[in-house]
Structure 1
């Protein structure tokens, strides 16, 4: 039986959802869709917000959540009882960071510290004892996934909170995330991961504060492949214990959190990212350690490609978007006319399908424009991040490739600098951005070469309705 949203559950259309034709049509979600509302549904949405009161409003709210058009209003959700959750902290040494984390939790929750075969076991045990945490020492190092699973097996509460040891949890973050479980279809929720202020910041930490791989932005979102938020990190993760099954894949030392999220989504479960809750993560601050971590993240691409071949593509393009991008990248005399023709045909096709919309071709033009921009930014990502070794070789032999890389570099830097507003000058931001992409891309290529498989490097050009 499908879990039902309770009466009183409040959702709000997110900022990416457009309301047109006097409230008769919604445009948004991921992938973008056009939803025509019946009169009863139109009356249920008041000022972009609606409350579940009966079967009809429940079905509408569930549809809006499932399509990514709306998000729960967290302040309107019932308060949560912290006694229903247990914190599991995997740790290997790092007694100073563990002490800082436990001190921030303040003894409000039951905590299980899983010592993953520390070199200095006594130091970890002393910190756990000082804070009254339960200690679970492991006889051998099993990695973060195995350590979390060992702690999960000890949990007797309905909810578990996984937290990495190099994190500080901000006040009310856990209670805010627990509120989301008023939705019985939700199995996992994660907070925003921000940088931890410590000492004197340098250009690396300032870049990470603005563009960390773990920071998924300011917008609440459902989490699933091919959406604005495709994954969440196990840096901090709250979950229903009975929904986790076998837990994390212990054979994975990187990407195990992405694998868990995608498995849950494949089962038809809901996963959410909630930036109203936040934690602080201790980012790497030296160049080699920072780039090494980025490359390490990249090495998770192939293991994920094996387990989730339909979800790991570096870019996802509709056929018309791919044609549009290729035409522009060709940089020939016919490039602009062909790209314009592709866009024009797409506008006509979308307009014909937008039945019941007051101005279908105006809407189709706007959606095609968004799609064209998305195709270009994904093309930039291929050149600068996922396929940069090929682009570097191409630059040695082709003026057109050099020109494309230069345009992509300038455009990507300007877009990201304007979006993130870092406490860093544009030149150092641009350098950090390219080093970030180079390190991650190197990790992806290394995993692909080691596995002798290009799966993690291939774009997805399949047609999806």
Structure 2
């Protein structure tokens, strides 16, 4: 289950662009079509795209590659294409036929109670009482989904493993393979280690990561995917040691981040979708989100700095500190001055666009701060509200920013604090500061 390591609706601050020069010397590999990320903007030989937002300055030859991408034409692999992929600026179009088929995939489902699905998949009974009829693997004790998934590995002899939870409907009337049609072509790239579909169900669910494809990486627009449904290359799974069985929650986040750190590409492909049965009651949803939150502290210890509730720079933080401190004129002046300073640091990007970029970054940072208050800082803010009107205004503003998610956000925070007390760390509370562009 995911730990909601970042608010997926708020990408890293747009003002925090990174400069990259790019050429097109051949790198070998596939020739294929790519779709541009929704962040893509082009100004001559300069492209602004990706997550975090990156500035590319292409050569003349590189400009021709950019032209082909914009015309939806196939392009050969190159350092420029590779860098665009790495930063999430472009995404492969999953075209058939793939070199892989359903015969190259083993479906694994961990299950506790209920009725085993009989459709060719491997069902792992995670300590059910009475034992689950039809399961191929039986664990005597309930050890959690990570251990149950790992227990199926000795039975897998295919190139790919598809992990599918028992409460996931593959939305498929003709067999369990068709949901894989848009996922398998990604594995034609030998660097791809994991591909995940869109998981639909509960409105506003942290499992549903939207309708835009993405490179999955900590600190980006799509920083995790749930193990409710995902496909992983068996060699990549073995290379990182599978799921961490010490994690009851967040084991999927941990797996993706370890794959990424080991050099495997992880992709989110929303053109394939599955259905996850939502929790039936509000109490059940609150418990679910508290469970997600409980994984934050263990994940923060395993991946220092990757689970920060806010990724910002000091100038942007200063803007919001001044605003919440009751000094709107200072906040506005600081925001405008920093926005004006950004233009010289982004050569090739029109000054007006640089200004809007910085101002948008300040606004999105405000959304991040509001989400952090609702989700992890709320106990501190509640205590502060007892004696400070500023804290009360901050609490009300954070609720107003997303009233529909406040209940589950607070539940998530409850789980975060429980996990911090248990592991004796405050890492999930700490913001991550980034330098202003050009430093």
TM-score range (shorter-chain normalised) is 0.7 to 0.9
Q: Deviations over 1:98-129 (max 9, x none)?
A: 43xx4xxxx4xx521111221121xx324x5x
Tell whether the 8 Å contact from 2:209 to 2:222 is kept in structure 1 after alignment: yes
Tell whether the 8 Å contact from 1:145 to 1:248 is kept in structure 2 after alignment: yes
Q: Give the corresponding residue for 2:377.
A: 387
- Give runs of ≥4 in structure 1 deviating > 6 Å: none
Q: Cα distance, 1:79 vs. partner?
A: 6.4
Q: Deviations over 1:277-326 (max 9, x none)?
A: 11111111122221111101000001001100120111111121111121
Tell whether the 8 Å contact from 2:33 to 2:75 is kept in structure 1 after alignment: no
Q: In the superposition, relative to structure 1, how do residues 113 and 292 fare at CA in structure 2: closer, same or farther (>3 Å)?
A: same
Q: Give the corresponding residue for 1:39.
A: 60
Distance 2:35 2:336 in 1: 34
Distance 2:436 2:266 in 1: 22
Q: Cα distance, 1:52 vs. partner?
A: 5.3
Tell whether the 8 Å contact from 1:90 to 1:144 is kept in structure 2 after alignment: yes
Query: Could you tell which deviates more after superposition, 391-400 or 306-315?
Result: 391-400
Q: Cα distance, 1:53 vs. partner?
A: 4.7
Q: Give the corresponding residue for 2:21.
A: none
Question: Structure 2 length normalisation: TM-score?
Answer: 0.87
Question: Structure 1 length normalisation: TM-score?
Answer: 0.82
Q: Cα distance, 1:6 vs. partner?
A: 3.4
Q: Deviations over 1:203-230 (max 9, x none)?
A: xxxxx3x201111111110110110111
Distance 2:64 2:259 in 1: 34
Q: Give the corresponding residue for 2:152.
A: 151
Q: Give the corresponding residue for 2:127.
A: 117
5+ residue gaps, structure 1:
129-134, 196-207, 414-429
Tell whether the 8 Å contact from 1:5 to 1:52 is kept in structure 2 after alignment: no
Kindly report the root-mean-square deviation, in angstroms, between the aligned alpha carbons of the 2 structures: 2.0
Q: Give the corresponding residue for 1:75.
A: 95
Q: Deviations over 1:223-279 (max 9, x none)?
A: 101101110111011010011121001111111111111111111221111111111
Q: Deviations over 1:188-210 (max 9, x none)?
A: 01111111xxxxxxxxxxxx3x2
Q: Give the corresponding residue for 1:266.
A: 261
Distance 2:296 2:385 in 1: 25
Q: Give the corresponding residue for 1:294.
A: 289
Tell whether the 8 Å contact from 2:43 to 2:348 is kept in structure 1 after alignment: no
Tell whether the 8 Å contact from 1:88 to 1:151 is kept in structure 2 after alignment: yes
Distance 1:217 1:379 in 2: 22
Distance 2:329 2:313 in 1: 19
Q: Deviations over 1:329-355 (max 9, x none)?
A: 111xxx223223322332233211222
Q: Deviations over 1:408-440 (max 9, x none)?
A: 322334xxxxxxxxxxxxxxxx3xx22111100
Q: Deviations over 1:16-36 (max 9, x none)?
A: 111223xx2111212212112
Distance 1:247 1:155 in 2: 13
Which among 70, 75, 86 is matched to residue 48 of structure 1?
70
Q: In the superposition, relative to structure 1, how do residues 143 and 226 fare at CA in structure 2: closer, same or farther (>3 Å)?
A: same
5+ residue gaps, structure 2:
1-25, 173-177
Distance 1:5 1:138 in 2: 46
Q: Does residue 1:12 correspond to 2:35, yes or no? A: yes
Q: Cα distance, 1:154 vs. partner?
A: 1.7
Q: Give the corresponding residue for 1:461.
A: 433
Which among 179, 188, 208 is matched to residue 173 of structure 1?
179
SS in 2 for 1:141: coil
Q: Cα distance, 1:165 vs. partner?
A: 0.8
Q: Cα distance, 1:367 vs. partner?
A: 1.2
SS in 1 for 2:152: helix
Give matches, 1:290-329, under 5 Å.
Answer: 290-329=285-324
Distance 2:386 2:133 in 1: 56
Give matches, 1:131-280, under 5 Å.
Answer: 135-171=136-172, 172-195=178-201, 208=202, 210-244=203-237, 245=239, 246-280=241-275
Distance 2:261 2:153 in 1: 22
Distance 2:271 2:360 in 1: 27
Tell whether the 8 Å contact from 2:36 to 2:69 is kept in structure 1 after alignment: no
Distance 1:5 1:406 in 2: 54
Q: Deviations over 1:127-175 (max 9, x none)?
A: x5xxxxxx11223332211111111222100000011111111232122
Q: Give the corresponding residue for 1:354.
A: 346
Tell whether the 8 Å contact from 1:187 to 1:270 is kept in structure 2 after alignment: yes
Structure 1 or 2: larger helix share? 1
Query: Could you tell which deviates more after superposition, 240-249 or 393-402?
Result: 393-402
Tell whether the 8 Å contact from 1:90 to 1:148 is kept in structure 2 after alignment: yes
SS in 1 for 2:183: helix
Give matches, 1:440-459, under 5 Å.
Answer: 440-459=412-431
Q: Give the corresponding residue for 2:13.
A: none
Q: Does residue 1:62 correspond to 2:70, yes or no? A: no
Distance 2:75 2:358 in 1: 37
